[in-house]
């Protein structure tokens, strides 16, 4: 993904893309027992959906559609927080690796939440 100048929309897309890459790398190093496999599958879906919905928002045809895609992205981020916490607390994955991803998930959630409030004129 290219970034021509600093603009909040492209910065968020870039950040979500790098988050997805970090998430994929993290999941490759996680245990592979049956429980971990299911947790990883769920996290992969929700975590990569964050950026996918941000991209979809850019192609939306109205402000309402744009806001809806950001809302989907926020829901995916919130779901990802849940799966990360389960992985942290139910597996032998190093806590510092989970906490790093969890912190970025929280920050993405905060950005998306603030953006949605702004889009809805509540801020």
Judge whether 3 lies within some domain. no
Give dist(CA 78, CA 81) in Å, integer: 5
The pLDDT value recorded for residue 39 is 97
Q: What is the pLDDT of residues 18-35, one digit of tens each?
A: 999 999 999 999 999 999
Q: What is the pLDDT of residues 75-106, one digit of tens each?
A: 999 999 999 999 999 999 999 999 999 999 99
Judge whether 110 lies within some domain. yes
Judge whether 63 lies within some domain. yes
Give dist(CA 17, CA 79) in Å, integer: 17
Calculate the CA dihedral of residues 55, 112, 79, 59 and round it to 10 degrees. -20
Contact 60, 77 (CB under 8 A): no
CATH code: domain of residue 25: 1.20.1440.60
Angle, vertex CA 15, rays to CA 28 and CA 87, nearest 5? 35
**First-residue to last-residue Cα distance in the chain:** 30
**The domain containing residue 12 runs over which residues?**
8-119
Give dist(CA 107, CA 98) in Å, integer: 14
């Amino acid at each position: 993904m290219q970034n021509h100048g600093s603009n909040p929309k492209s910065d968020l897309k870039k950040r979500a893309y790098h988050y997805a890459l970090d998430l994929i790398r993290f999941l490759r190093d996680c245990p592979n027992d049956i429980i971990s496999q299911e947790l990883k599958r769920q996290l992969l879906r929700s975590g990569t959906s964050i950026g996918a919905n941000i991209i979809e928002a850019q192609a939306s045809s109205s402000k309402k559609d744009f806001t809806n895609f950001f809302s989907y992205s926020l829901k995916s981020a919130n779901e990802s927080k849940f799966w990360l916490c389960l992985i942290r607390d139910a597996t032998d994955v190093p806590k510092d690796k989970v906490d790093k991803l969890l912190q970025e998930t929280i920050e993405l959630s905060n950005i998306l939440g603030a953006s949605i409030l702004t889009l809805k004129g509540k801020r």
